[in-house]
Structure 1
Amino acid sequence: MTIGKKSSVVASIILAGALGLTACGAKEAAVAETSASAETAKTEYKYGKIDIPGKDGALCGAPIYIAYEKGFFAEEGFDVNLISADTETRKIGLNNGTIPIVNGDFQFFPSIEEGVKVKVVDGLHYGCIKFVVPNDSPIQTVEDFAGKKIGVDEIGGTPHQVASVWLEKAGISADPQDGDVTFLPFSDGNLELEAVKTGEIDVAALWDPLGSIAEKSGEYRVVFDLSTDPVFAGKYCCFLYASSKVLEEKPDEIAALLKAYRKAQDWIAKNPKEAVDIISDKKYSAIDDKELAQELIVSYTYPSTEDRANGTAKIEEDVKYFVTELKNIGYLKTEDPDAFAAEIFQKVDVD
């Protein structure tokens, strides 16, 4: 690749670097401070002030931003303070009830097994991970991954787990001891892309929007899309997790929060362009390509009210699916995946 081409790709990709590029909000990125409107400030709130992690900059955290900006949290009785919180802060807050709810992917399941006191209470959206290769790569299908080096953000992270499930279901061992594939961690997705371009690795497993921006540059090709691949299509990869303490002591508060989230999901599903305008203009996510952002928002398939009414949103089934798959690749120790799935999921009556 020439220096000129390289600069244009990197310039586009650097914008995505600010997004956090994590499991729907597990890592932080700087975003602008947000404040409630004057009307909201005057509201009397049934449930008072609460903290919700919502400053990670991830595009797929859209329901948080929209529920805040459209006043859905306020309508349900909450004076929400959006905070930055890393993984450990979230775990502590969920355990002691100071953080009532967070969004996150199935990578959180092992943490529950290890003692974090939360329950899955709803689905958030479909896939937001892509695997990319240079245009001239011979890799086309999952079978071509045998013997290859795959870049991930961290060993044990969601892209790593997704790749492991995908490979194992195709008969390729993801266990490093077997040597079928090699996973290499990169602290920065931009470095991962450089590595795949230079041949240091064969595949880059990336969080959106970085994978999509790379593809749009014309220099990379997507060989796996979490939102469309048959192994994962139509399944929630990201969920809403509620503090068990708050669920036990204030179940009506969790129900009200879920109602606000569902209003936001429905609004996003029906108004993706307007949702992107709000997220971009309010600097919740540092993505300037609104056309691409809208494509991604649509691909995440946030459930509408109609989806929930007709049974399209099947959260409990998806929890069981990912528990089983994580057990199969060794990331869960449970001997009874069905029982564990039933234990970590709690249906909340929102109506």
Structure 2
Amino acid sequence: MLSKHGIIAKGTAIFGVLIAVLAFDACGVTTSNSAADAKAEAGANSVATEGYKYGTVEFPKSSSLCSSPIAIALEKGFFKEEGIDAKLVTADAETRKVGLDTGRFPVTNGDFQFFPSIEKGVKTSVVGALHKGCIKIAVKKGSNIKTAADLKGKTIGVDEIGGTPYMAANLWLGDAGLNVDPKNGDVKYLPYDDASLEFEALQKGQIDAAALWDPLPTIQEQKGTVDIVFDLGSDPKFAKRFCCFLYGSNKIIEEKPDEMAAILRALDKARDYIAQNPEDAAKIIAEKNYSSITDQELATKLLKDYDYSVQTDENKIIEDDVNYFVDGLKKIGFLETGDTAGFAKQIYKDVEH
């Protein structure tokens, strides 16, 4: 039930519930489609389509820049070059979860918040990477809060308990020595159903900081209403590390490796295109309404900042980053495994493409 400020009323027990549920598309906002539909349509991908080797393949759509490679691969014909008739479909978190389990969705974008869900049994693996950090923590302009230590005893707004801004904030705070236990930690979190309401609460002093996805923190910083105290893309502990990974359905990886390889090749082409042509990519995304960002200049800046380029020896880099975040999440108590190296090895699958 939502209060007049849009705060989602959830008890402390919600952490244990949400951490076990796959919060897919953390990097974007989607509308709903039932899990029953996903089950009914399981196997719908790769339906015979004339002229396409792999037929029609469905991808969950997103309104964030994080999933730009999927949009660009469609618009620039990279999927078609690989024999894929790509179709973007609306899907909520549960639908994506079922879709990956059944193979209806071969891939989706996500981040390290998925790791606890995999530990709980979701049948998906990291099969690639997309870009660097896109999470920021903002405080009111002129606030005395400058460091992680300054947030002890304070309240941070997030989009959801267990989501990526929540996880990123806890990694940052935990690394600074703060207690991040979800029930008795040094910081209190308040979830908001709307980012604009979260910023409104920040300005009114109802929260002390706001952990959010770009572009809103950057927009507010440009307006002079906030100071940024943490940037996942530039913080020394996280800079140059992939935060948004590409997750693949284990079913497709095992049963249709050629199709998975073709999808990854198409997305690599799209990432390279974005890296080399950020202005044009931003224009396509804005004009075709693939993102909620309408400011092309800002979208171009963010695409450059996120660094979508495919890197030399990328497999090793991804493997290192997966290990890094597994270790970090274990350290702050968000993973139960006693064998972090083994779990990291389980999470990442190097799909030859």
TM-score normalised by L of structure 2: 0.85
1:49 pairs with 2:80:
no
> Using the alignment, how far apart are the partners of 1:68 and 1:117 within structure 2?
26
1:320 pairs with 2:327:
no
Q: What corresponds to 1:65 in structure 2? A: 71
Letter in 2 for 1:173: N
Letter in 2 for 1:150: I
CA contact (8 A) 2:25 2:93 kept: no
RMSD: 1.8
Shift of 1:281: 0.6
Q: Relative to 1, partners in 2 of residues 1:117 and 1:177: Cα closer, same or farther, differing over 3 Å?
A: closer
Q: Give deviations 1:222-276, integer Å, cap 9, x for gaps.
A: 1111111112111111111111111111111111100000000001000000000
Say which of 79, 86, 90 aligns to 2:92.
Answer: 86
CA contact (8 A) 1:22 1:58 kept: no
Unpaired stretches in structure 2, ≥5 consecutive residues: 1-23, 33-48
Shift of 1:335: 0.8
Paired residue secondary structure (1:52): strand
Q: Give deviations 1:197-240, integer Å, cap 9, x for gaps.
A: 01111101111111111111111111111111112111111111
> Using the alignment, how far apart are the partners of 1:179 and 1:53 within structure 2?
35
TM-score normalised by L of structure 1: 0.86
Say which of 165, 172, 183 aligns to 1:166.
Answer: 172
Letter in 1 for 2:301: E
Say which of 99, 105, 116 aligns to 1:99.
Answer: 105
Paired residue secondary structure (2:245): strand
Runs of 4+ in 1 over 3 A off after TM superposition: 176-179
Q: What corresponds to 1:258 in structure 2? A: 264
Q: Relative to 1, partners in 2 of residues 1:347 and 1:22: Cα closer, same or farther, differing over 3 Å?
A: closer
Say which of 123, 128, 132 aligns to 2:129.
Answer: 123
Letter in 1 for 2:52: Y
Q: What corresponds to 2:312 in structure 1? A: 308
Q: Give deviations 1:251-310, integer Å, cap 9, x for gaps.
A: 111111000000000010000000000000111112221111111111111123xx235x
Instruction: Give matches, 1:275-294, under 5 Å.
Output: 275-294=281-300
> Using the alignment, how far apart are the partners of 2:341 and 2:306 within structure 1?
26
Shift of 1:78: 0.4
CA contact (8 A) 1:22 1:207 kept: no
Q: What corresponds to 1:28 in structure 2? A: 30
> Using the alignment, how far apart are the partners of 2:84 and 2:248 within structure 1?
16
Q: Relative to 1, partners in 2 of residues 1:303 and 1:312: Cα closer, same or farther, differing over 3 Å?
A: farther
Letter in 2 for 1:329: I
Paired residue secondary structure (2:172): helix
Letter in 1 for 2:30: E
Shift of 1:24: 1.6
Q: Give deviations 1:120-154, integer Å, cap 9, x for gaps.
A: 11111111111111112111122211121111111
> Using the alignment, how far apart are the partners of 1:308 and 1:103 within structure 2?
21
Unpaired stretches in structure 1, ≥5 consecutive residues: 1-20, 31-41
> Using the alignment, how far apart are the partners of 1:124 and 1:23 within structure 2?
14
Instruction: Report how many residues are paired.
Output: 314
Q: Relative to 1, partners in 2 of residues 1:140 and 1:92: Cα closer, same or farther, differing over 3 Å?
A: same
> Using the alignment, how far apart are the partners of 1:319 and 1:169 within structure 2?
17
Q: Give deviations 1:141-172, integer Å, cap 9, x for gaps.
A: 22211121111111111111111110010111
CA contact (8 A) 1:127 1:226 kept: yes
> Using the alignment, how far apart are the partners of 1:258 and 1:276 within structure 2?
21
Q: What corresponds to 2:45 in structure 1? A: none
> Using the alignment, how far apart are the partners of 2:266 and 2:63 within structure 1?
20
1:140 pairs with 2:141:
no
CA contact (8 A) 1:153 1:187 kept: yes
